[in-house]
């Protein structure tokens, strides 16, 4: 059975960067305003994330790494009203099957932090002869998750990984994208033991500013801002006012920051968030590329950040979490409206 669990876990956690994506989403779901990541050997030796979010109750620790354990579904009817993709309760369980995992966590009302070790979905003793129960320890409000020796027991996954510098680059890429999307959260990413972080952000006013800071001046000075929504242009677009506030499954909004034709790169950089989750959609990407193919010379590509909010009920929840390609209601209409919005801005630029 443990082999089957390992294989299933490897389907969810492909590499250090995919584990980190899950952990980042958990920290953001916990409303962290500060997230620090430490990496050793491309995340294979060590992947550690520290947040100042709500923490995990001690009573929840024994079942934390059990499959389908999630605090994000209160009743069955919530299944159709998911505000986060993180509803499956599979991420931490999966990690515990393919790596050594420990958690230090403290809620605001706890008087101390608690530390727990996991393997194969359950609490384990930190040392031989000890009990598996969480142990009290010193710690700040929030959660530290430490993952060591990823895929030590899944050699096929391990052998599919690239060099540690390539895995590190993928990690940095994921952190950078989430830092763009969450400009009010401070992010830090560094190699363990290194005094200088590769990435460090302090809270900024908006996504445009975050793009300037993280992707540089040549992109930053050419950014166009586009907002479209089901109710016309604009509309609020933030974590706090989600699209389902008005209880209309047809309601949506989208915000893009994309470069003018003055910016020409050899490859497209495309950041897509749907309901605050980093996802992929080849159909949306193609649509935007075709808009740009009308204004850019052949072989030149833009930078595009796009955030779409739709009613959580309209996102296909049956798509497996590893399939980062998402499907949602009215996808064609929404894509067309976004493409038109970008097109108009680009045309307005070209004279």
Q: Is 27 in the site for ligand ADP (CB under 6 A)?
A: yes
Q: Tell me the DSSP string of 133-175.
A: S-EEE---SEEEEEEESTTTT-HHHHHH---HHHHHHHHHHHH
Stretch that binds ligand ADP, among 91-99, 152-160, 204-212, 339-347 (CB under 6 A): 91-99
Q: Does 72 interact with ligand ADP (rule: CB under 6 A)?
A: yes
Report the nearest approach of Mg ion to the CB of residue 146 (Å).
Answer: 16
Per DSSP bridges, beta strands 303-310 and 269-274 are parallel
Among 143, 154, 176, 182, binds ligand ADP (CB under 6 A): 143
Tokens coding 342:
């970008």
Q: Using the minimum distance from each CB to Mg ion, give the nearer residue, 82 or 207.
A: 82
Stretch of 82-90, 143-151, 191-199, 330-338 contacting Mg ion, by CB under 5 A: 82-90
User: Of 64-72, 222-230, 284-292, 340-348, which part binds ligand ADP (CB under 6 A)?
Assistant: 64-72
**Which partner, Mg ion, ligand ADP, none, binds residue 71 by CB below 5 to 8 Å per kind?**
ligand ADP
d(CA 204, CA 136): 36
Instruction: Select from 50, 42, 150 the least CA-distant residue to 100.
Output: 150
191 sits near ligand ADP (criterion: CB under 6 A): no
- CB-based contacts of 63-68 (< 8 A; 24+ apart in sequence): 64/92, 64/103, 64/116, 64/118, 65/92, 65/93, 65/95, 65/96, 65/101, 65/118, 65/121, 65/122, 65/123, 66/93, 66/121, 66/122, 67/93, 67/121, 68/93
In the complex with ligand ADP, the residue whose CB is nearer, 27 or 154, is 27
| Burial track 139-169 (b if 16+ CB lie within 10 A, e otherwise) | bebbbbbbbeebbebbeebbeebeebeebbe
Q: Which is nearer to ligand ADP, 60 or 250 (CB)?
A: 60
Using the rule CB under 6 A, give the single segment among 38-46, 68-76, 206-214, 309-317 that binds ligand ADP.
68-76
CB closer to ligand ADP, 178 vs 252:
178
Q: Does 87 bind ligand ADP (CB under 6 A)?
A: yes
54 binds ligand ADP (CB under 6 A): yes
Q: Are 3 and 118 in contact (CB under 8 A)?
A: no
Element housing 285 (H / E): helix 282-293
User: Could you say whether residue 83 binds ligand ADP (CB under 6 A)?
Assistant: no
Q: Which range touches ligand ADP (CB under 6 A), out of 21-29, 151-159, 219-227, 299-307?
A: 21-29
Q: Angle, nearest 10°, between helix axes 164-181 and 207-215?
A: 150
Question: For residues 323 and 62, what is the distance between their CA atoms, to the nearest angstrom?
Answer: 29
Region near Mg ion per CB under 5 A, out of 20-28, 157-165, 232-240, 314-322:
20-28
Contact call for residues 6 and 153 (beta carbons, < 8 A): yes
Please tell me whether residue 18 binds ligand ADP under the rule CB under 6 A. Answer: no
Options 16, 43, 53, 302; binder of ligand ADP; rule CB under 6 A: 53
Rounded to a whole number of angstroms, the minimum distance from the CB of residue 67 to Mg ion is 12
In the list Mg ion, ligand ADP, none, the entry touching 9 (Cβ below 5 to 8 angstroms by class) is none
Footprint of Mg ion (CB under 5 A): 26, 86, 91
Footprint of ligand ADP (CB under 6 A): 22, 26-27, 30, 51, 53-56, 64, 69-72, 86-93, 143
């Amino acid at each position: 059975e443990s082999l089957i669990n390992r294989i299933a876990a490897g389907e969810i956690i492909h590499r250090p960067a995919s584990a980190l994506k899950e952990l980042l989403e958990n920290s953001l779901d916990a409303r962290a305003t500060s997230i620090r990541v430490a990496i050793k050997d491309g995340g294979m030796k060590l992947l550690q994330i520290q947040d100042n979010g709500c923490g995990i109750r001690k009573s929840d620790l024994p079942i934390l790494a059990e499959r389908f354990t999630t605090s994000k579904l209160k009743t069955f009817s919530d299944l159709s009203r998911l505000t986060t993709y993180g509803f499956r309760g599979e991420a931490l369980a999966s990690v515990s099957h393919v790596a050594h995992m420990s958690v230090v966590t403290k809620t605001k009302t706890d008087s101390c932090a608690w530390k727990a070790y996991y393997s194969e979905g359950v609490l384990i003793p930190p040392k031989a002869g000890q009990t598996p129960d969480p142990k009290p320890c010193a710690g700040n409000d929030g959660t530290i998750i430490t993952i060591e020796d990823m895929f030590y027991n899944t050699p096929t996954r391990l052998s599919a990984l690239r060099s540690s510098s390539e895995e590190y680059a993928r990690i940095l890429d994921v952190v950078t994208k989430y830092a763009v999307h969450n400009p009010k959260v401070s992010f830090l990413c560094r190699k363990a033991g290194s005094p200088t972080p590769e990435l460090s952000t302090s809270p900024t006013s908006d996504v445009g500013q975050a793009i300037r800071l993280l992707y540089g001046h040549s992109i930053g000075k050419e950014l166009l801002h586009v907002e479209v929504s089901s109710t016309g242009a604009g509309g609020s677009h933030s974590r706090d006012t989600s699209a389902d506030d008005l209880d209309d499954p047809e309601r949506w909004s989208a915000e893009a920051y994309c470069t003018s034709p003055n910016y020409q790169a050899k490859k497209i950089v495309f950041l897509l968030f749907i309901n605050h989750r980093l996802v992929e959609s080849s159909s949306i990407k193609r649509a935007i590329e075709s808009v740009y193919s009308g204004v850019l010379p052949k072989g030149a590509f833009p930078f595009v950040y796009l955030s779409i909010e739709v009613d959580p009920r309209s996102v296909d929840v049956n798509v497996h979490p590893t399939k980062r390609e998402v499907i949602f209601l009215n996808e064609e209409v929404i894509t067309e409206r976004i493409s038109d919005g970008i097109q108009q801005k680009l045309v307005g630029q070209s004279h």
